[in-house]
Amino acid sequence: MPQVQIVGLTKRFGSIVALEDVDLDIRDKEYLSIIGPSGCGKSTLIKCIAGIMAPDKGKILVDDHAIGNVPIQHRRIGYVFQEIALFPHMRIIENVSYGPRVQGQTELSAKALVNELLNLIKLSDRVNSLPMELSGGAQQKVAVARALASGSALLLFDEPFGALDSKVRADLRYEIRKMTTDLGLTVLHVTHDQEEAMSISDRVVVMKAGRVIEDGPPLQLYLHPKTIFTANFLGEANFLRGRVIQQTSTGAVVQVEDTHLQTTDKTREVGQEVIVAIRPEFISVARGQGDKNCLRGKVVEIRFMGQAVRYEVEIAGGRTICVEHPTCFGELEIEPLDEVTLTTAPQHVMAYSVPEQGLEKELQLE
């Protein structure tokens, strides 16, 4: 039952800090995604868990055993690479049976397991093909099967779909997720794609600059992110400056430009400068002047996005708010240059303290 504990993991490359005192717990059979911008340390983290890199400080425990000194080949941890590292000189069947063979199993005993896995990924008819004859998506499925055949119950995915088309990516991730769930595996999945992470994980861990920022179930992180970075990284959000003018029983009231916005945040103090974040899909837009307590602005751009229509509204102070209105809610009769009002429900207005380094730096994605 692989459950993993990471304690105080630190890794530096010269002056660059790749991992800084990282703590993480992964439960047995959990599907955990680690997301963050390039260079946040997520790949370094799983490479340390696999044994490909050695951390400078800290401990890694699998089922309460410290594996720091165990070489890669004895850790029994499956690894799927972004570059699809199928052995180009071996056929599919030889690739998948590689693990059992190098561990001393005879061809015959490995055969049953290998065939079962190939059936599972629906590639039994390609056993004798070479990797380069398969599509990218098929190759990655073989790579997963290969990792499973070697007997690992813990899998590490390093941006496994990075090299694939977006359509193929979308379908493949569900297939792989189902497979790992059915087989009762523990999975650590590293990706920079937040939609991918949220759609298939039990829990998501957000990293930035070598540190864990926060973690939690996808829904919770998306709807109630604890930091501005998480709010911005998991999806789009509008960020506005404001000041708390009142604390009520339901939550703080924040003054933004010439309007008051009700929030559900009970931790703020009156007079505090805050940053307010609202996701575009949680803002309603309507033509007209509206009553006194909503944001007002002028529509500067309308774009059809398929599932939603995107409005860019310029409000007082010159800032632009993005609103995404789902097309299934019906068509709004709004044209560019129309005066509109923007409203949102209190639970969708998130308030944060003003970051020390300033809002710009906090929102930086690279």
Partner 1 sequence: MPSVKLVDIVKRFGAITAINRLSMEIADKEYVCILGPTGSGKTTLLRLFAGLTIPDEGEIYIDDKLVNKMPAEERGAVYVPQQYALFPHLTVLENVAFGPLARGVNEEEALRTAREMLEMMMLGHRADSKPDELSGGMQQRVALARGLATKAKLLLLDEPLGALDARLRVELRYKLRRLAEESGVTTIHVTHDQAEATAVSDRIAVLREGRIRQYATPFHVYMRPQSLFVAHFVGGANFLQAVVARRHLEESVLELHQGLKITVRDTTHLSAEEVVVVIREDRLNIAESADKVDSGSYNTIEGEIQSSRFLGSFVSHQIRLANGDMVMSKTPTQRLEKPMPVGKKVIVYFKPSDALVYSYPAIGLSRELRVL
Partner 2 sequence: MRGLRLEQGSRSDSRIVNRFLSILDRLSASRRVSNLVYAFSVTFFFALVLLPPMFGILLKLDRAAEVFRDPALLGRSYSAISWSFILAFVVSALDLMSGIPLAWLIVRSNPKWGSIVDTLADIPFIIPTVALGFSTLLFWGSEGVASLFLGQAVLTPGLALVVLLHFVFSLPVVVRVMVGELSGYRETFEIAAKTLGAEPFTAVRTVTLPILRPSLVASFLLSFARSLSETGATIVVAGSFENGPVLIKNAKDAGLEGPLSFVSFTLIAGSAIAFLLIKHFGPKLRLPISRVWPETEKRLSRPNAVLARDLASLSIFIFVVIAPSLFVALPSLYALFDGTFMEALSSQGVWSTYWQSMMLSYVIGIIVTVTNMLIGMPMAVLIARRRLGKAATSMMDGLVNIPIVVPSVALGVSLGSFWRAIGILPEFWVLTISHLTITYTYFVRAMSAAIESVPIYLEDTARTLGARPLTVFRRIILPLTKYSLFAGAILTFTRSVDETGAAAAVSEKLKTLPVLLVDWVKGTVAVSRSTQSLGVGILVAVSFIGLLALRLVIRKRR
Of 303, 316, 317, 336, the one binding partner 1 by CB under 8 A: 303
User: 134-148 burial, b if ≥16 CB within 10 A, otherwise e?
Assistant: beebbbbbbbbbbbb
Given partner 2, partner 1, none, residue 146, with its beta carbon under 5 to 8 Å by kind, binds: partner 2
* CB 7, CB 59: distance < 8 Å: yes
* 159 versus 338: smaller Cβ distance to partner 1: 159
In the complex, the smallest distance separating the C-beta of residue 139 from partner 2, rounded to whole angstroms, is 13
Nearest-angstrom CA–CA distance, 181 and 31: 8
336 binds partner 1 (CB under 8 A): no
Q: Which stretch binds partner 2 (CB under 8 A): 68-76, 121-129, 191-199, 275-283?
A: 68-76
52 binds, among partner 2, partner 1, none (CB under 5 to 8 A by kind): partner 2
Per CB under 8 A, does 2 bind partner 2?
A: no
Q: Which residues contact 229 (CB under 8 A, 6 or more apart)?
A: 206, 208, 213, 362, 363
Read off the amino acid at residue 64: D
DSSP, residue by residue, 19-55: EEEEEEEE-TT-EEEEE-STTSSHHHHHHHHHTSS--
Between the alpha carbon of residue 174 and those of residues 47, 86, 222, 325, the distances in Å are 24, 21, 20, 27
Least spacing, CB of residue 4 vs partner 1, in Å: 24
Partner residues linked to 19 by β-bridges: 11
Q: Which of 52, 127, 163, 354 binds partner 2 (CB under 8 A)?
A: 52
Alpha carbons 123 and 198: distance in angstroms, whole number: 28
Q: Out of partner 1, partner 2, none, which partner does residue 352 contact, by CB within 5 to 8 A per kind? A: none
Of 324 and 362, which CB lies nearer to partner 1 in the complex structure?
324
Subset of 80-139 contacting partner 1 (CB under 8 A): 135-136
Based on the shown chain and the rule CB under 8 A, indicate whether residue 174 belongs to the binding site for partner 1: yes
Please give the Cα distance from 137 to 182 (Å, whole number). Answer: 20
Instruction: Tell me whether residue 160 or residue 297 sits nearer to partner 2 (CB atom).
Output: 160
Which CB, 98 or 352, lies closer to partner 2? 98
The pairing of beta strand 4-13 with beta strand 203-208: unpaired
Footprint of partner 2 on 92-111 (CB under 8 A): 94, 98-99, 101-104
Coil, helix or strand at residue 363: helix
**Binding-residue pattern over the window 132 to 171 for partner 2, x denoting contact by CB under 8 A:** --------------xx--xx--------------------
Least distance to partner 1, CB of residue 171, Å? 9
Measuring CA to CA, which residue among 89, 91, 105 is closest to residue 149?
105
Maximal C-alpha separation, the chain: 78
Kindly state the helix (H) or strand (E) to which residue 57 belongs, with its residue range: strand 57-62
Residue environment code for 66-88, b if the CB has 16+ CB neighbours within 10 A, otherwise e? ebeeeeeeebbbbbbbbebebee
Min separation Cβ 37 and partner 1, Å: 6
Span interacting with partner 1, options 102-110, 114-122, 182-190, 194-202, rule CB under 8 A: 194-202
By C-beta, is 214 or 281 nearer to partner 1? Answer: 281
The tokens describing 241, both together, are 């400056």
Site string for partner 1, 31-50 (x = CB under 8 A): ------xx------------
Residues in contact with partner 1 by CB under 8 A are 37-38, 135-136, 165-168, 174, 192-196, 198-200, 218-219, 222-223, 232-236, 279-282, 303-308, 310, 324, 326-329, 365-366
